[in-house]
Copies of this chain bind each other. A is one copy, B any other.
Amino acid sequence: MLLAGHRANQKGIPVVLDPVGVGATRLRTDSAQRLLRELSITAVRGNAAEMATLAGFRAKIIGVEAVDTCGNASEVATAFARRHNCVAAVTGPIDVVTGSKRLLQVTNGDAIMRTVTGTGCMATAVIASYMAVERDSTLAAAAALATYGLAGEIAAEHAMGPGTFQTHLFDTLAGLTEDEVRGGARIQENNP
C-alpha cells in the first residue's frame, strides 16, 4: 500500500483510502494512521465509526457501528478533513462529504445496501473512478456517492432480498445513463 501510494503521489494520481474496520483492531487503526501520515491521500471514505476514530473522537465512538444523527456525521467529516487535510466522505443513511470548503450531503441510497457485504468498499471504488476524471475531489466524491446510491435505489425496487439486490446492483450500476444520474441524484450543499 505504501509503495503503491508513493508511486501514485509522484505521478499525481489521486489516492482514495477506505479504512476498513478501523477502531476494531489495533493493526487496522495503526495501518490507516500510518497511511494517512506517510502518503498524500486525496480522500477517505468510511462509516461514521471508522471516520470518527481517525478524526480523534475516540471516547464516544470506538466499537459503535454508526453515528445516527446527521449533525454528528457532519462534525466527524469536518474534523476529519481539517485534521488530515483531505476530502472526508462519511457514509450512512445520509452521506456527508467535505473538503477544505464546502460540505455536501447526499440522500441517495437504500437500507438494503447494508445487508450486502462489500457495498462500502464498492462506494470507495466508485469515488476513485470519479476522481480519475473530475479534479474537484469534494464534488467527485459526492457525485460518486449519489450515483452509487441511486443505483442502489433502482436495484432495490427489483430485489426480493440481498441476493437479487446484489445482482441487480451490478446490472444497474453498469447501465446507468447520464440522464438518469442527473434526474435522480440528490446532493445538497449545507455549509457549516
Contact = CB atoms under 8 A, between A and B. Distances in A.
* SS class, residues of chain A in contact with chain B: helix
Interface in A66-99: none
A33 interface: no
A45 interface: no
B161 A170 contact: yes
A13 B98 CA distance: 40
Given A161-B172, A163-B166, A164-B167, 17 more contacts: A159-B171, A160-B175, A161-B170, A161-B174, A161-B175, A162-B170, A162-B174, A163-B167, A163-B168, A163-B169, A163-B170, A163-B171, A164-B168, A164-B171, A166-B167, A166-B170, A167-B167
